[in-house]
């Protein structure tokens, strides 16, 4: 069995660049034979402001991948038993892949990793397009094409099923995301002696991240430095160095189906301060969560501002290294490992 890895475009400021470098090697190490299906080298790199990718560039990328896949079918390179893994399930070319496989009589399996969609009211598709029939029916069709629909967290699965209650739930798999490379990648940045009274906002600057709350906290807690990472032209290495010096990574997010930046912070010894909602509920022990109502929206924040300020000040004065290390270990095994994903691809999910 060959696993054809249909990769996301590698944006330097996103984990997709790390997946391009590390994911094929991880899968090979897990015993899979992998061939990467990449996109064009001249695809736009700049993301649409506030978004995860470039709304036009991503279609240019995916179209080139479809051309590659079509040629592989035409040349007879796709065999019975082969597997296609889409690292972004929201990819309409999977319908065309299914079309070719069915009509040419090639028995393949297809898996897709879901990140977001119109079913998430805080996502761009959810905010700008919502439940328009074309997008909802497209998402349901893509789900039906996949033999394995992969999600990182139960929260994401529940949100998906709220929008699509009639889909075949036996095709859903909670696997975490294949990011076992993270601990090794950040090992050199674990420098507790360099900790500063520094609070970071490591998220995209987008409405669902509520950066205005972070900015207001900075005006109140003047004894600490508050930095919005996207306000600086940071390389990945510079970003990780900044993380290593921080005491807190802060979230007031109203959308989060996993939360990679908070995990990155924990690896290098920064305290992830997260609201008790979204995927954070299942991932973080109570000591890392603050009451959701403190930051549900701007008015809720203003009503609870004093509590949040006091909480941040107390964390800045605590030594939480052991708690953070324990958290990192649990997140690494339960949510940032590819083992469950690789086992499904290898057909071991029922063992």
- 122 phi and psi, to 5 degrees? -90, -10
Structural domain containing residue 221:
182-333
Question: If you search the block for the tokens 């071991």, which residue do you land on?
Answer: 348
Burial of 248 (0-12, 13-18, 19+ CB in 10 A): buried
> Would residue 165 count as lying in a domain?
yes
d(CA 89, CA 108): 16
Contact indicator for 142, 86 with CB cutoff of 8 Å: no
Number of domains within the chain? 2
> Would residue 105 count as lying in a domain?
yes
- The two three-digit tokens of residue 3, written as one number: 């696993």
Pair 222, 149 in one domain: no
Pair 8, 151 in one domain: yes
Pair 194, 164 in one domain: no
pLDDT for 285: 95
CA dihedral 45, 237, 283, 293 (to 10 degrees): -80
Question: If you search the block for the tokens 């992998």, which residue do you land on?
Answer: 34
d(CA 204, CA 202): 7
d(CA 227, CA 56): 30
> Would residue 17 count as lying in a domain?
yes
> Would residue 351 count as lying in a domain?
no
List Cα–Cα distances, 8 to 25, 192, 350, in angstroms.
16, 34, 28
Pair 154, 6 in one domain: yes
> Would residue 10 count as lying in a domain?
yes
pLDDT for 50: 47
Q: What is the CATH number of the domain that holds 231?
A: 3.40.50.2000
> Would residue 18 count as lying in a domain?
yes
Pair 341, 328 in one domain: no
d(CA 179, CA 17): 12
Pair 260, 315 in one domain: yes
Contact indicator for 246, 198 with CB cutoff of 8 Å: yes
Pair 161, 202 in one domain: no
Pair 198, 164 in one domain: no
Contact indicator for 344, 174 with CB cutoff of 8 Å: no
pLDDT for 192: 64
Residue among 321, 339, 198 at smallest CA distance from 267: 321
pLDDT for 319: 87
> Would residue 350 count as lying in a domain?
no
Helix 57-74 / helix 93-104 crossing angle, nearest 10 deg? 10
Pair 145, 218 in one domain: no
Pair 237, 117 in one domain: no
Q: Where are the alpha helices (H) located in the chain, listed in sequence order? A: 15-29, 57-74, 93-104, 124-128, 133-145, 154-163, 181-185, 211-220, 236-245, 260-267, 280-283, 298-316, 321-334, 339-345
- 318 phi and psi, to 5 degrees? -110, 155
Pair 160, 21 in one domain: yes
Burial of 138 (0-12, 13-18, 19+ CB in 10 A): middle
Pair 264, 155 in one domain: no
> Would residue 89 count as lying in a domain?
yes
Residue among 58, 103, 53, 105 at smallest CA distance from 79: 105
pLDDT in tens, the chain (351 residues): 999 999 998 877 678 888 999 999 999 999 999 999 999 988 666 655 544 557 788 899 999 999 999 999 999 999 999 999 999 999 999 999 999 999 999 999 999 999 999 999 988 899 899 999 999 999 999 999 999 999 999 999 999 999 999 999 999 999 999 999 999 999 888 876 668 999 999 998 988 999 999 999 999 999 999 999 999 999 888 999 999 999 999 999 999 999 999 999 999 999 999 999 999 999 999 999 999 999 999 999 999 999 999 999 999 999 899 999 999 999 999 999 999 999 999 997 543
């Amino acid at each position: 069995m060959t696993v054809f890895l249909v990769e996301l475009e590698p944006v330097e400021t996103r984990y997709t660049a790390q997946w391009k470098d590390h994911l094929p090697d991880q899968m090979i190490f897990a015993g899979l034979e992998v061939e990467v299906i990449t996109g064009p080298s001249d695809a736009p790199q700049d993301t649409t402001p506030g978004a995860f990718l470039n709304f036009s560039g991503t279609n240019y990328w995916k179209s080139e991948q479809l051309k590659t896949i079509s040629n592989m079918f035409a040349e007879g390179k796709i065999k019975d038993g082969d597997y296609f893994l889409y690292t972004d399930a929201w990819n309409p070319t999977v319908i065309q892949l299914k079309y070719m496989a069915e009509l040419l009589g090639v028995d393949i399996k297809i898996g897709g990793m879901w990140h977001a969609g119109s079913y998430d009211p805080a996502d761009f598709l959810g905010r700008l397009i919502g439940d328009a029939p074309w997008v909802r029916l497209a998402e349901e069709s893509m789900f039906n094409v996949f033999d394995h629909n992969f999600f990182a967290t139960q929260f994401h699965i529940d949100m998906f099923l709220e929008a699509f209650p009639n889909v075949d739930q036996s095709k859903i798999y909670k696997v975490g995301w294949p990011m076992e490379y993270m601990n090794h990648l950040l090992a050199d940045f674990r420098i507790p002696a360099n900790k500063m009274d520094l609070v970071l906002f490591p998220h995209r600057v987008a409405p669902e991240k509520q950066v205005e709350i972070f900015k207001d906290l900075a005006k109140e807690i003047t004894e600490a430095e508050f930095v919005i990472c996207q306000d600086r032209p940071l390389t990945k290495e510079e970003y990780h160095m900044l993380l290593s010096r921080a005491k807190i990574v802060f979230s007031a997010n109203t959308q989060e189906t996993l939360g990679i930046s908070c995990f990155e912070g924990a690896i290098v010894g920064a305290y992830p301060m997260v609201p008790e909602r979204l995927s954070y509920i299942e991932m973080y022990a109570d000591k890392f969560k603050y009451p959701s109502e403190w930051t549900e929206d701007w008015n809720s924040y203003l009503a609870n501002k004093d509590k949040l300020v006091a909480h941040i000040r107390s964390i800045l004065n605590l030594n939480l290294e052991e708690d953070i290390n324990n958290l990192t270990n649990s997140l690494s095994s339960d949510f940032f490992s590819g083992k469950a994903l690789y086992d499904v691809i290898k057909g071991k999910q029922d063992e």
